Amino acid sequence: MASQQQVNPKKQQELQLQYTNYKNALQQLAQKIGDIEQEAEEHKLVIDTLEPLPEDRKCFRMVNGVLVERTVSDVLPSLKTNSDGLKQVLEELLKQYKTKQTELDSWKKKNNIQVVQP
């Protein structure tokens, strides 16, 4: 028992708080990534559905909670632009997640932290 290194309780609380903050940040990023992936998949599905249709065919689009009537040729370019934007945001969020994960791993090594699962 004497061989175990004793950590001052305040220091232990501080380390626990930092660890919790890292885990919460990672969880929030993962949630955002999941939301963006789902939205990108929905965009892809709509684009795949609209592409084979004639350009002058009517379609409806929700804009700020209002359903508006447009044609396929009006809607398709903006959907593709939105889809490309979502892909860029997704890539950026994935980079942030990896960076935060690496930061957590190095913090755990630096402070000699070992996670015990209950």
- Tokens 């070992």 correspond to what residue? 114
Residue 84 domain flag: yes
Q: Structural domain of residue 78, as residue ranges?
A: 14-106
pLDDT given for residue 72 in this prediction: 95
Residue 38 domain flag: yes
pLDDT given for residue 73 in this prediction: 95
pLDDT given for residue 118 in this prediction: 65
- The sign of the CA dihedral 34, 37, 43, 45 is negative
- Tokens 């942030």 correspond to what residue? 96
pLDDT given for residue 5 in this prediction: 53
Strand stretches in 5-118, DSSP E: 58-63, 66-71
pLDDT given for residue 113 in this prediction: 79
CATH classification of the domain holding 100: 1.10.287.370
Quote the number of domains for the chain.
1
Instruction: Please list the ranges in the chain whose pLDDT falls under 70.
Output: 1-7, 118
Residue 1 domain flag: no
